[in-house]
Copies of this chain bind each other. A is one copy, B any other.
Amino acid sequence: MPTPSLNSPETSGNDFWSKVPQPTIERLSAYLQCVRTLREEGEKAASSAEIARRTGINAAQLRKDLSYFGEFGTPGLGYELEALETQLARIMGIDQERDVLLVGFGNLGRALSSYTGFGRRGFKIVAAFDVDPEKIGHKTAHFEVFDLDKLPEINAKLGAQVGIVAVPAPNAQGAIEALANAQVRAILNFAPVAVKASDGIAVRNVDLTSQMEILSYYLRSH
Task: List chain A positions with a Cβ less than 8 A from chain B.
Answer: 9, 14, 17-18, 20-23, 25-26, 28-30, 32-33, 36-37, 40-41, 56-57, 91-94, 98, 106-108, 110-112, 114-118, 120-121, 123, 161-162, 169, 185-188, 192-194, 200, 202, 204, 206-222
* B93 adjacent to A220 (CB under 8 Å): yes
Q: Is the interface of A mostly helix, strand, loop or mixed?
A: helix
Q: A161 contacts which chain B residues (CB < 8 A)?
A: 219
Please measure, in the bound complex, the distance between the C-alpha atom of A211 and the C-alpha atom of B222, giving whole angstroms. Answer: 29
Report how many copies the assembly holds.
2
> A107-B110, A215-B202, A217-B93 are contacts. A33–B192 as well, Cβ < 8 Å?
no
Which B residues are CB-close (under 8 A) to A120?
192, 209
23 A-B residue pairs with Cβ-Cβ distance under 8 Å, sorted by A, are A23-B57, A26-B56, A29-B210, A29-B213, A30-B210, A32-B213, A92-B214, A98-B216, A98-B219, A107-B110, A107-B111, A107-B114, A116-B192, A117-B209, A120-B209, A121-B212, A161-B219, A162-B216, A186-B216, A188-B215, A202-B222, A204-B215, A206-B208
Give me the 4 closest cross-chain CB pairs, A-B, nearest first: A17-B221, A117-B192, A93-B220, A108-B111
Beyond the given A116-B169, A188-B212, could you list 10 further A-B residue pairs with CB under 8 A, ordered by the A residue number? Answer: A17-B220, A22-B56, A23-B57, A40-B194, A93-B219, A110-B111, A123-B209, A161-B219, A162-B216, A188-B215
